[in-house]
C-alpha cells in the first residue's frame, strides 16, 4: 500500500519534451510508472519514447488518457501557470520539481489551490516515490525497497541517504515524499503525517527537517497529540550560524527562531526519536521497529 502515488495514479509529465522532463520521464517509465501522457503546448500529437502521447493541455490529457496526477518539469517562469492549469483540470496530485519559483508567485498559487481539491507536493523537491508502484520525480529508484516505513523530508540528498540506510537494513518504504525546501510549499510535514497516520500499511515514519521556519515544531506538536506511530527524525544545519542561508531558500535562521536546537528540543519533547547525525537514521529506525 502507499499514499499519494498509488496503483490508481495515471500520471502526466508537464514539460515532457524538454531536456529535464524527457530525461526523468524515461527513468519513470523504466521503473514501470504508469506514465500515460505528456504535456507541452504546441507539441500535441507527438509521441514520447514511442509510447506516451503528448498533448497541448492538461485538460486534453485528462479527457483522452484519464490522467489524475502530474509531475512538472518546466522553467520557474512557467511553473506557477503549469500548477494552476493542472489544478483547473481537476488533478488529484501535482508534484512540482521546479526550483527557483519566486515566493510571491507561490503565494498566488497557494491561494488558487486553496479553492480546489488538488494536492501539491513541492516546488523545489525531488518528488514522490512509492517503491514497487512508481515514481514522480528525480529520486534514484534503485535504492528503494517496498515496505512499511514512510519517509518525509525537506532535503532531497538526505532523503536518499535515509532510504539507502533503511534498504541496507532490509527496512522497506511505503512512500517517500520530498516536500521541498522553499518557504511556501504545497504539502507540509503535518499534511504528510496525517496521510501516513491513516495508512494501515505504514508502521513508522522518518522525518527529515532542517533549520529555518517553524514547520518541524508545528509537526512535533501535532504528532504529540494525534500521531499513533513511531517517528525517527533528523534536523540538518545544526552548525549553521544565524542569518546564513544553508542550501534551501527556506533554510535560514532569523529573529532567534528556526534553529536546529529548538527543533530538536520540540521533537524530543513530543516523544519523537531524534538523531544527532544523519548516519544514525537507519540504525535508529531498526532499533525502534525492534
pLDDT of residue 258: 77
Residues 156 and 282 in one domain: yes
Please identify every residue annotated as catalytic.
248
Residues 149 and 282 in one domain: yes
Residues 148 and 232 in one domain: yes
Q: What is the pTM of this model?
A: 0.94
Residues 112 and 39 in one domain: yes
pLDDT of residue 242: 62
Per-residue pLDDT in tens (0 to 9) along the chain, 290 residues? 689 999 999 999 999 999 999 999 999 999 999 999 999 999 999 999 999 999 999 999 999 999 999 999 999 999 999 999 999 999 999 999 999 999 999 999 999 999 999 999 999 999 999 999 999 999 999 999 999 999 999 988 999 999 999 999 999 999 999 999 899 999 999 999 999 999 999 999 999 999 888 999 999 999 999 999 999 999 998 876 665 555 555 545 555 567 899 999 999 999 999 999 999 999 999 999 99
Residues 163 and 277 in one domain: yes
What range does the domain containing 99 cover?
Answer: 11-121
pLDDT of residue 158: 94
Please identify which residue in the block is written with the cell numbers 512557467: 78
Residues 90 and 155 in one domain: no
Residue 134, domain member (yes or no): no
* Tally of structural domains, the chain: 2
* Domain CATH for 249: 3.40.50.261
Which of 64, 88, 121 is a domain's end point? 121
pLDDT of residue 248: 55
Residue 5, domain member (yes or no): no
Residues 36 and 149 in one domain: no
pLDDT of residue 162: 97
pLDDT of residue 56: 98
Residue 15, domain member (yes or no): yes
Amino acid at each position: 500500500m502507499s499514499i499519494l502515488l498509488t496503483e490508481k495514479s495515471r500520471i502526466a509529465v508537464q514539460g515532457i519534451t524538454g531536456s529535464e522532463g524527457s530525461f526523468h520521464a524515461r527513468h519513470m517509465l523504466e521503473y514501470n510508472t504508469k506514465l500515460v501522457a505528456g504535456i507541452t503546448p504546441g507539441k500535441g500529437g507527438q509521441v514520447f519514447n514511442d509510447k506516451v502521447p503528448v498533448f497541448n493541455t492538461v485538460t486534453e490529457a485528462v479527457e483522452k488518457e484519464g490522467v489524475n496526477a502530474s509531475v512538472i518539469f518546466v522553467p520557474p517562469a512557467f511553473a506557477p501557470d503549469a500548477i494552476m492549469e493542472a489544478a483547473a483540470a481537476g488533478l488529484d496530485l501535482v508534484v512540482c520539481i521546479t526550483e527557483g519559483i519566486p515566493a510571491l508567485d507561490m503565494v498566488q498559487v497557494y491561494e488558487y489551490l486553496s479553492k480546489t481539491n488538488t494536492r501539491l507536493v513541492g516546488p523545489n523537491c525531488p518528488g514522490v516515490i512509492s517503491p514497487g508502484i512508481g515514481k514522480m520525480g528525480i529520486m534514484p529508484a534503485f535504492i528503494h525497497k517496498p515496505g512499511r516505513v514512510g519517509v518525509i523530508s525537506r532535503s532531497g540528498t538526505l532523503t536518499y541517504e535515509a532510504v539507502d540506510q533503511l534498504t541496507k537494513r532490509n527496512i522497506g518504504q511505503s512512500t517517500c515524499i520530498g516536500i521541498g525546501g522553499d518557504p511556501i510549499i504545497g504539502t507540509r510535514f503535518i499534511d504528510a503525517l496525517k496521510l501516513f497516520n491513516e495508512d494501515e500499511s505504514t508502521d513508522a515514519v522518518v522525518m527529515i527537517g532542517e533549520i529555518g521556519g517553524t514547520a518541524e515544531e508545528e509537526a512535533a506538536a501535532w504528532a504529540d497529540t494525534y500521531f499513533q506511530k513511531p517517528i525517527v527524525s533528523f534536523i540538518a544545519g545544526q552548525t549553521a550560524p544565524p542569518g546564513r542561508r544553508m542550501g534551501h531558500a527556506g533554510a535560514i535562521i532569523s529573529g532567534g527562531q528556526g534553529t536546529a536546537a529548538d527543533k530538536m528540543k520540540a521533537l524530543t519533547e513530543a516523544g519523537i526519536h531524534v538523531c544527532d547525525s544523519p548516519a544514525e537514521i537507519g540504525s535508529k529506525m531498526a532499533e525502534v521497529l525492534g
